[in-house]
Structure 1
Amino acid sequence: MTKRETIDTGTDKRYVRRDEQGRFKESVDVGKSLSADRRTKAKTKAKPGEGDKGDHHPSR
């Protein structure tokens, strides 16, 4: 799975993933993504850059 990157479109900010050719594969609004993350408790730990796949646990 590729990492998400943040893109500022000027009107809003979005998290995007790219496919092997560099084209946009998935795009989500940052505000909606972060609010959805707060509403649910994930069962899996996610790697850095893949926050939509589970909870991010900072290193201790």
Structure 2
Amino acid sequence: CHLHGLVHRDMKPENFLFKSAKEDSPLKATDFGLSDFINPSRKFTDIVGSAYYVAPEV
């Protein structure tokens, strides 16, 4: 996602799912509802995410 200029902004265990029940199944990120595109000329000032998982310095 970062290679395409997208930041998730709500990283937590519930937002990761395995594609199948197979042991070698890939892990997929889900729930991009709070995601945003990176713009080098804009500073992110919004505090978003799930409160329990937001870093203390935020």
User: The TM-score by the shorter chain falls in which range?
Assistant: 0.3 to 0.5
TM-score by length of 1: 0.32
TM-score by length of 2: 0.33
Please state which structure has a larger fraction of its residues in helix: 1
Larger Rg: 2
Tell which has more relative contact order, 1 or 2 (C-alpha 8 A, sep 6+): 2
Please state which structure has a larger fraction of its residues in strand: 1
